[in-house]
Amino acid sequence: MNIVLKDVIILHPEQKLNEKTDILLEDGIIKKIGSLSENEIKNSEVYNLEGNYVTPGFFDMHVHLREPGREDKETVITGCNSAAAGGFTGIACMPNTDPTIDTAEVVTSIIIKSKNHLVDVHPIGAVSVGRKGESLAPIAELVEAGAVGFSDDGVAVKSASLLRNAIEYAGMYNAPIIEHCEDPSMDDGAMNESFTSTQLGLPGIPTAAEDLIVMRDILIAEYTGGRVHIAHISSKNSVDLVRQAKAKGIKVTAEVTPHHFLLNDESVKTFDTNYKMNPPLRSKEDVEAMIEGLKDGTIDCIASDHAPHTIEEKEMEFIYAPNGIIGLETQLGISLSELYHKGHLTLEDLVYKLSINPRKILNLEIPKFEIGKEANFSIFNPDTIWTVDVSKFKSKSRNSPFDKKLLTGKPTGVINKKRMFIDDKFINLA
């Protein structure tokens, strides 16, 4: 099947591409980039995409798919549908599943389930058996089965010595250790510790709990020469620590979620549990530091920490409600509205943060605009104004604080693995 993406702007900063053109795909393979003959157009399904950008497919390196174990919240397939609708062609899925991703069998089962989907799924293995922080998971075997990074997800690796070993062992396969940075002796809270938590009478989690582990991890990365990736960074001090470490040449990378660069802890004043997450929403100063970190490159990428929960679990007393929100279907719109349209980042910067950098961190191939290559593209219109409607989400869950939010910039479609998702449906291209 031939399709034409007409009047698009192809944007690929690594290939130095930023130009208006047409793209011809034959069975999902890039056949031609440039102006097309009438014949080429006549024999193709033509998508008139004036105003749209086509970029290397977006990648979200922090997604909770909930399968195996909590398929009532999300499955591999519904999570992939949500990713496609959100403009992503690839995701990395985290190991806080039941059972956790600490055997090759679990890695394989997730990969098999996603095999026929447009979206690439790359599992993140557990650092330790059962994520218990005692003994190393079979990291080599997990890499062989397809794991691309390791994390004890939801908690920091329990001890400095185990972290050191994990960094060195996973380093043999150039797989990063992805850390949820939170000191377990200071994690007993329901929101950020601040004047707001004092006013609300909610137990607080200090930013120092995050900073302590970021510092520890940086020191161990420096000592071993290995790699560590800071998941969902949220505190100003942590951004400063990462900035200093990078300046020293230490191999540390960091991601931030849209909610941490957009919302602050005053949102919790409604006691709406869709503002309960871990790390918690921080202060205005911390939010500003996230934007600064994105601008100067301290923060490498944007990731959603997509965390589906059932309605009945989330509609609960604040201190009992589980942490987290879903983010796959709002991430691109929020990034465009808050970072691009507000002048903090260019579209090129966003392609780095949403596509190129996360793939580099996980050692994945970066999609290119090259004749003969299989297309792996995201298509979006940065100027489309739309209103978020959680009831229309492809995700199985609805726990988002962004319902009814007006956003500027919307995913139009994605193409990958010879499939296309556009106009709310999947199309086989070959």
Which residues are tagged catalytic?
A: 305
Least Å from the CB of residue 133 to other proteins: 23
Q: What share of the chain is helix, strand, coil (3-state, %, to 5)?
A: 35, 25, 40
Strands 425-428 and 419-422: antiparallel
Question: Which residue type occupies 5?
Answer: L
- Report DSSP letters for 371-421, one per residue: TTSBP-EEEEEEEEEEE--GGG-SSS----TTTT-EEEEEEEEEEETTEEE
Least Å from the CB of residue 265 to other proteins: 12
Distance CA 51, CA 147 (A): 37
Total residues contacting other proteins by CB under 8 A comes to 20
Least Å from the CB of residue 233 to other proteins: 21
Report the residue number, 173 or 318, with the smaller CB distance to other proteins: 318
Q: Which listed range, 106-114, 170-178, 195-203, 253-261, lies at the site for other proteins (CB under 8 A)?
A: 195-203
Which residue, 189, 403, 395, is CA-closest to 277? Answer: 189
Q: Which listed range, 102-110, 314-322, 377-385, 413-421, lies at the site for other proteins (CB under 8 A)?
A: 314-322
Q: Which listed range, 20-28, 46-54, 308-316, 332-340, lies at the site for other proteins (CB under 8 A)?
A: 308-316
Buried-exposed string 121-131: b where 16+ CB fall within 10 A, e elsewhere = bbbbbbbbeeb
- Beta bridge partners, 3, equal 25, 45
Q: Find the binder of other proteins among 159, 174, 198, 387 (CB under 8 A).
A: 198
Does residue number 201 form part of the binding site for other proteins (CB under 8 A)?
yes
Q: Which listed range, 85-93, 201-209, 257-265, 328-336, lies at the site for other proteins (CB under 8 A)?
A: 201-209
- Beta bridge partners, 45, equal 3
Residue 392 φ/ψ region, left for φ over 0, alpha for ψ in the -120 to 50 degree band, beta for the rest: alpha
Report the residue number, 194 or 399, with the smaller CB distance to other proteins: 194
Does residue number 199 form part of the binding site for other proteins (CB under 8 A)?
yes
Report the residue number, 51 or 206, with the smaller CB distance to other proteins: 206
Least Å from the CB of residue 319 to other proteins: 4
Q: Find the binder of other proteins among 200, 214, 250, 415 (CB under 8 A).
A: 200
Torsion angle (degrees, nearest 10) of CA 160, 279, 179, 80: 160
Report the residue number, 52 or 194, with the smaller CB distance to other proteins: 194
Does residue number 195 form part of the binding site for other proteins (CB under 8 A)?
yes
Distance CA 121, CA 123 (A): 6
Does residue number 320 form part of the binding site for other proteins (CB under 8 A)?
yes
**344, 337 contact by CB (below 8 A):** no
| Contact set for other proteins, span 263-282 (CB under 8 A) | 270-271
Which contiguous run of DSSP H or E holds residue 39?
A: helix 38-42
Least Å from the CB of residue 315 to other proteins: 5
Least Å from the CB of residue 215 to other proteins: 21
Least Å from the CB of residue 270 to other proteins: 8
Strands 149-150 and 29-33: unpaired
Cα–Cα distances (Å) from 409 to 83, 121, 300, 375, in that order, read 16, 25, 21, 22
Report the residue number, 108 or 310, with the smaller CB distance to other proteins: 310
Report the residue number, 15 or 199, with the smaller CB distance to other proteins: 199
Does residue number 318 form part of the binding site for other proteins (CB under 8 A)?
yes
Distance CA 256, CA 231 (A): 7
Does residue number 315 form part of the binding site for other proteins (CB under 8 A)?
yes
Distance CA 20, CA 23 (A): 10
Show the binding pattern over residues 147-186: x = contacts other proteins (CB under 8 A), - = does not.
----------------------------------------
Least Å from the CB of residue 311 to other proteins: 10
Q: Find the binder of other proteins among 21, 194, 337, 397 (CB under 8 A).
A: 194
Least Å from the CB of residue 390 to other proteins: 17
Q: Find the binder of other proteins among 38, 312, 365, 423 (CB under 8 A).
A: 312
Q: Which listed range, 51-59, 312-320, 359-367, 413-421, lies at the site for other proteins (CB under 8 A)?
A: 312-320
Report the residue number, 38 or 317, with the smaller CB distance to other proteins: 317
Which residue, 355, 418, 364, is CA-closest to 147? Answer: 364
**175, 147 contact by CB (below 8 A):** yes
Prior bond to 68 cis, omega within 30?
yes
Which residue ranges make up the site for other proteins (CB under 8 A)? Answer: 193-195, 197-204, 270-271, 312, 315-320
